[in-house]
């Protein structure tokens, strides 16, 4: 009998066996479960993910947790495990701004906790922000929505090199003997007005000239003094020695590759992770475009070849959770965690927060109901009417503004935000840049525009409260290379030797102009310029063409250049020439504009 059973099992296994060679579907195209990359036990097979925001006056209510738990238990079919699917978005100082919960999917209705008797007093708005269902209903009509596919992109190997925690900054050595320092300071005092402390700093602080290639126009223009031309710089980028030393920069991005040639030397103090399902590192679960963007932003701050403040210390705040998603809940959560982290530090430690990401939130104070597109905004997959959407957007914006307001109350915080990449005629329409008007008189909230360094003209959105422009075209950033060519064909080409050597490419956008300004602020602070003087000193920015924008300039004067390299008008003590009417600096004869 047992012989017959054994033969039966062998025959059954042979029938079910399929040789590996018969599988013809490429690995990157294979279908996977929605939660293949999630941690075990963190989610049901399919869930609806909700964000509920608490009214500002109730954020510190001592009975809030008990009251909300009662509403949820009574009204919501929570996904298992029920004890762990309701999570608070909270701050030690600001209280509980909201909560998220995972519910079993519903076909026709949303859980509207704010309409319950108790919920009306506690919750400003509640809405579904993510769903695993393929069919999401918008206003009663079926629309196809593709689920997140973690295998949609080829897995990129981020291995090799030292881990961020192992990289330590190099302490500056003694640069000169005592008498040389004294003489240099004495010369500086004689050259510059005694009352101008910044001028004295710039005349005496150690500087160095970095030889750049013809492809690094975005770096050279940063140290190009008024009245000079691109040819006058002789290919040099002038910077302070050990720029950014002792300065702390927070970077909010969707992912980071800190093993790239351009970033592996950067000193990272720590990483902060968003959401109730936090990631484990800078890139696992994140979509490659998010990792690429974050890596480029970090490099423009402190990268080896393309960074301005190479000795700054960074805190990396990943805005995407372990699924690779950034929704409103994740962004509010990471901003709160950054606030708590800054607040715990010594008030004398300046913290520069770089926000190159932009959030599309309708301006509900001015936008009419009909102007809200239910599908245009960040992972919002509810099915309520447009009035309810306006209420939800207003609640999201109120929560973000509340955190931003409290960050700005901290005297040691600078916030540097991207203006956006729309046409110059389009008003600024993304958060946090939309808050620039409110903080227009602040010396610590800076909205950055982008200009074309080859033409000296603005190329993106512009409003009166954008005080500074940095290169936003022809920007060198780190990218993914494979077999001597771009791994992603979308990168601006063709590949050149300089880019191939350091695994770089050209890109454009205020996303990269913003960290350039952030890095410059860190560099200025590191040489002793006081925080209150940063924005006034930023006015050394000047027009590169007659009707151009105020382009960033690090302030290193011509007096620090070798005498043989100074232009004739300067040596003859003539006045500074005005900017030209037009400018057209080609990178090479064949290079075309990448924006």
- The dihedral formed by the CA atoms of 448, 399, 37 and 487, expressed in degrees to the nearest 10: -10
State residue 327's pLDDT score.
Answer: 86
Tens of pLDDT, residues 224-235: 999 999 899 999
Q: In this predicted structure, what is the pLDDT of residue 576?
A: 95
CA distance 595 to 578: 27
The confidence score (pLDDT) of residue 24 equals: 30
The strand pair at 207-211 and 236-240 is best described as antiparallel
CATH superfamily of 209-372+400-571: Peptidase S8/S53 domain (3.40.50.200)
Tell me how far apart the 2 most distant CA atoms of the chain are, in Å: 110
**Three-state secondary structure along 298-360?**
HHHHHCCCCCCCCCCEEEEEECCCCCCCCCHHHHHHHHHHHHHHHHCCCCCCCEEEEECCCEC
Measuring CA to CA, which residue among 68, 141, 146 is closest to residue 111? 68
* Whole-number Å distance between alpha carbons of 183 and 195: 19
- Condensed to tens digits (0 to 9), the pLDDT of residues 128-152 reads 888 776 433 333 333 333 333 333 3
For 455-461, what is the mean pLDDT? 95
Would you say residue 378 has pLDDT above 90? no
Instruction: Spell out the domain ranges in the chain.
Output: 48-144, 173-206, 209-372+400-571
DSSP symbol at 25? S
If 0-12 CB within 10 Å is exposed, 13-18 middle and 19+ buried, where does residue 112 land?
Answer: middle
Q: Whole-model pTM?
A: 0.82
Q: What CATH code is assigned to 48-144?
A: 3.30.70
Where is average pLDDT lowest: 262-271, 300-309, 493-502?
Answer: 493-502
Q: What is the pLDDT of residues 483-526, one digit of tens each?
A: 666 777 666 556 677 888 898 999 999 999 999 999 999 999 99
User: What was the pLDDT predicted at 493?
Assistant: 59
Contact by Cβ (8 Å): 467, 447: yes
Calculate mean pLDDT across residues 304-327: 93
Cβ 263 vs Cβ 291: under 8 Å: no
Looking at residue 9, what is its pLDDT? Answer: 52
**CA 68/CA 125 separation, integer angstroms:** 13
Helix, strand, coil fractions of the chain, as percent rounded to 5: 30, 20, 50
> Does residue 350 register a pLDDT over 60?
yes
State what percent of residues in the chain have pLDDT above 90. Answer: 55
Asked if pLDDT for residue 566 goes beyond 80, the answer is: yes
- Structural contact between residues 564 and 582, judged by C-beta atoms closer than 8 angstroms: no
3-state secondary structure of 573: coil
Over the stretch 7-59, which tens digit does the pLDDT of each residue have? 555 554 444 443 333 323 233 233 233 333 444 444 446 788 899 999 999 99
Which pLDDT score is estimated for 362?
67
Pairs from 336-341 (Cβ < 8 Å, separation ≥ 24): 336/89, 336/90, 336/91, 336/94, 336/97, 336/403, 337/272, 337/274, 338/250, 338/252, 338/272, 338/407, 339/91, 339/93, 339/94, 339/403, 339/406, 339/407, 340/91, 340/92, 340/93, 341/250, 341/272, 341/315
- Mean pLDDT computed over 280-295: 84
For CA atoms 232, 237, 240, 244, the dihedral sign is positive
């Amino acid at each position: 009998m047992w012989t017959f059973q054994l033969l039966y099992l062998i025959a059954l296994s042979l029938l079910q066996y399929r040789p590996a060679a018969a599988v013809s579907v490429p690995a990157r195209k294979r279908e996977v479960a929605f939660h293949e990359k999630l941690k075990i036990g963190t989610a049901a097979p399919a869930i609806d993910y909700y964000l509920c925001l608490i009214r500002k006056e109730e954020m510190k209510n001592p009975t809030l947790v008990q009251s909300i738990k009662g509403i949820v238990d009574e009204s919501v079919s929570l996904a298992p495990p029920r004890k762990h699917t309701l999570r608070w978005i909270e701050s030690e100082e600001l209280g509980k701004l909201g909560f998220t919960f995972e519910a079993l999917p519903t076909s026709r209705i949303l859980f509207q906790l704010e309409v319950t008797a108790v919920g009306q007093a506690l919750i400003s708005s509640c809405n579904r922000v993510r769903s695993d269902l393929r069919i999401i209903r918008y206003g009663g009509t079926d629309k196809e929505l593709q689920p997140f596919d973690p295998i949609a992109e080829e897995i990129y190997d981020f291995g090799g090199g030292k881990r961020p925690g192992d990289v330590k900054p190099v302490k500056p050595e003694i640069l000169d003997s005592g008498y040389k320092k004294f003489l240099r300071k004495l010369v500086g005092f004689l050259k510059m007005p005694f009352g101008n402390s910044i001028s004295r700093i710039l005349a005496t602080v150690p500087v160095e000239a970095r030889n750049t290639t013809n492809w690094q126009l975005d770096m050279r223009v940063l140290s190009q003094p008024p009245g000079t031309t691109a040819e006058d710089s002789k290919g040099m980028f002038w910077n302070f020695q050990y720029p950014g030393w002792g300065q702390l920069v927070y970077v909010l991005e969707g992912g980071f590759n800190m093993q790239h040639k351009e970033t592996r030397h950067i000193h990272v103090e720590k990483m902060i992770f968003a959401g109730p399902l936090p990631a484990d590192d800078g890139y696992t679960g994140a979509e490659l475009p998010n990792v690429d963007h974050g890596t480029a932003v970090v490099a423009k701050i402190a990268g080896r070849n393309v960074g301005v403040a190479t000795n700054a210390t960074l805190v990396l705040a990943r805005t995407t959770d372990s699924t690779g998603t950034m929704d409103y809940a994740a962004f509010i959560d990471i901003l709160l965690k950054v606030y708590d982290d800054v607040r715990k530090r010594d008030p004398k430690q300046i913290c520069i927060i770089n926000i190159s990401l932009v959030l599309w939130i309708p301006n509900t104070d001015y936008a009419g109901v009909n102007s809200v597109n239910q599908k245009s905004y960040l992972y919002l997959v509810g099915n309520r009417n447009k009035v309810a959407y306006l209420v939800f957007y207003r609640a999201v914006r109120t929560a973000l503004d509340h955190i931003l307001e409290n960050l700005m109350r901290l005297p040691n915080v600078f916030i540097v935000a991207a203006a956006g990449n729309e046409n110059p005629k389009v008003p600024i329409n993304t958060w946090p840049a939309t808050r620039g008007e409110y903080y227009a008189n602040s010396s610590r909230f800076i909205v950055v525009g982008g200009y074309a360094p080859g033409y000296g003209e603005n190329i993106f959105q512009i409003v009166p409260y954008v005080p500074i422009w940095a290169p936003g075209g022809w920007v060198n950033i780190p990218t993914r290379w494979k077999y001597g060519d771009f791994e992603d064909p979308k990168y601006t080409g063709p590949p050149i030797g300089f880019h191939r050597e350091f695994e770089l490419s050209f890109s454009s956008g205020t996303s990269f102009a913003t960290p350039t300004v952030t890095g410059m602020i860190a560099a200025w602070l590191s040489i002793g310029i006081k925080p209150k003087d940063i924005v006034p000193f930023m006015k050394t920015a000047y027009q590169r063409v007659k009707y151009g924008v105020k382009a960033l300039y690090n302030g290193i004067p011509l007096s620090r250049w070798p005498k043989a390299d100074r232009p004739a008008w300067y040596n003859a003590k003539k006045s500074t020439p005005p900017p030209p009417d037009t400018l057209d600096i080609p990178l090479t004869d064949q290079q075309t504009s990448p924006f």
